[in-house]
């Protein structure tokens, strides 16, 4: 699998975004990140689409929010295969929400550890549901 992050993997469907915020199938928290998901059928031929959010309440300046989102996109791009392998083996599609809820900047290495932890928790939860 290539380690790219094309536009088709970005969540833009308003109905799926609303469902993610109102009634997620599950969620995990690893400070400073919150990870939620729903299983749905997507218009694109990708295993998952993701929405990355950073609170305007904690990061008033756009360049600060953009920096955190850039870090999260890069970390997800490098590690998305963890979740994709699970989804492809089950023939499922999912929508993910990755929210940064911390109040200060984090190092990229810290964020990478947390994202890997959250994706592994997700695959473990899916393995238990399918078993």
Per-residue b/e over 64-90, b at no fewer than 16 CB within 10 Å?
ebeebbebbeebbbebbeebbebbeee
In a domain, 2, yes or no: no
DSSP letter at 10? B
Assess if residue 98 is contained within a domain. Answer: yes
Per the domain annotation, does 82 fall within a domain?
yes
Give Cα 130 distance to the centre of its chain.
Answer: 21
Q: Is the pTM of this model over 0.75?
A: yes
Cβ atoms 111, 75 nearer than 8 A? yes
Establish if 44 belongs to a structural domain.
yes
Residue 17 lies in a domain: yes
Q: Which domain holds residue 72?
A: 7-130
Q: Confirm whether 56 is domain-assigned.
A: yes
pLDDT at residue 46, as a whole number:
94
Q: Is position 1 within any domain?
A: no
What CATH code is carried by the domain that includes residue 113? 3.30.230.10
Give the DSSP letter string of 13-52.
-HHHHHHHHHS-SEEEEETTEEEEEEE---SSSSSEEEEE
The tens place of each residue's pLDDT in the chain, 131 residues long, gives 678 999 999 999 999 999 999 999 999 999 999 999 999 999 999 999 999 999 999 999 999 999 999 999 999 999 999 999 999 988 899 999 999 999 999 999 999 999 999 999 999 999 888 76
Q: Which residues are registered as beta bridge partners of 35?
A: 28, 98
Question: How many separate domains does the chain show?
Answer: 1
- Domain annotation covers residue 63: yes
């Amino acid at each position: 699998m290539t380690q790219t992050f094309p536009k088709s993997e970005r969540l833009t469907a308003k109905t799926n975004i609303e469902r993610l915020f109102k009634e997620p199938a599950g969620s995990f928290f690893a400070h400073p990140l919150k990870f939620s998901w729903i299983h749905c059928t997507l218009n694109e031929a990708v295993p998952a689409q993701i929405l990355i959010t950073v609170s305007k309440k904690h990061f008033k300046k756009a360049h600060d929010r953009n920096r955190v989102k850039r870090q999260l996109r890069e970390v997800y791009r490098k590690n998305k295969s963890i979740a994709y392998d699970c989804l492809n083996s089950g023939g499922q599609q999912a929508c993910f929400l990755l929210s940064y809820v911390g109040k200060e900047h984090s190092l990229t290495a810290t964020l990478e550890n947390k994202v890997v932890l959250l994706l592994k928790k997700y695959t473990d939860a899916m393995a238990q549901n399918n078993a």
